[in-house]
Amino acid sequence: MTQPIADDEVLLRRVTMPAGKIGHWQYAEGRFVVPGKAWEDPQDEPSVYRKSAVEIDRLLSNCGASPAPADNGCFGVHAGAVRSITTILQRDGKGKSIPDRPFTVDAVSTPSECESHAHAVVKTIEPAQSAKRQVRQLMQQSLSLIADEYINGVRFGGGWERIPPGLQEERLRSRL
């Protein structure tokens, strides 16, 4: 049985910066820019890994299945920061927001074929009438703002575990 995820636990999100893809990840005006795209997931439940239970190199190589692609990197955020998202409001049948019923966003342990004790997902709990696309976009935006704060040093205890090499090169170029 998997232990519940504590608020102070660091969750890692693997990212890539494919060569030549401008706008996927950027370093602009002295800051890393984290797009909502960093949190895309086909099931609208972005995968994360518990830092305390996974080896970074194994995570970057897709759980050890192959050598890590050169463009892989990862960053961390606290589970408590993820759970603090309260900007996603439920809507009634007419599309009006219900201010006292925000979606709850949680980090939940989920078994996977590899690193079953380390794998988790970020998901909304108790979705209601709100359009799924809108909820997904709002969750991605909220997660991106949180990641941005950790990566750029506004919040501490998370941030880059390994900067994708392409992004590191972009950062160095912008300083010249």
Give 153-174 pLDDT, tens digit per residue. Answer: 899 988 998 888 777 777 787 7
Cα distance between residue 88 and residue 99, in whole Å: 9
Q: In what order do the strands lie in the sheet with 159-162?
A: 104-109, 119-125, 47-50, 10-16, 72-78, 159-162
Mean pLDDT, residues 30-49: 83
Report the DSSP beta bridge partners of residue 17: none
Q: What mean pLDDT value characterizes the chain?
A: 77
pTM: 0.80
Q: 4 forms bridges with which residues in the sheet?
A: none
Q: Residues 99-155: pLDDT tens digits?
A: 665 566 777 777 666 555 677 778 776 655 556 777 778 888 888 889 999 999 899
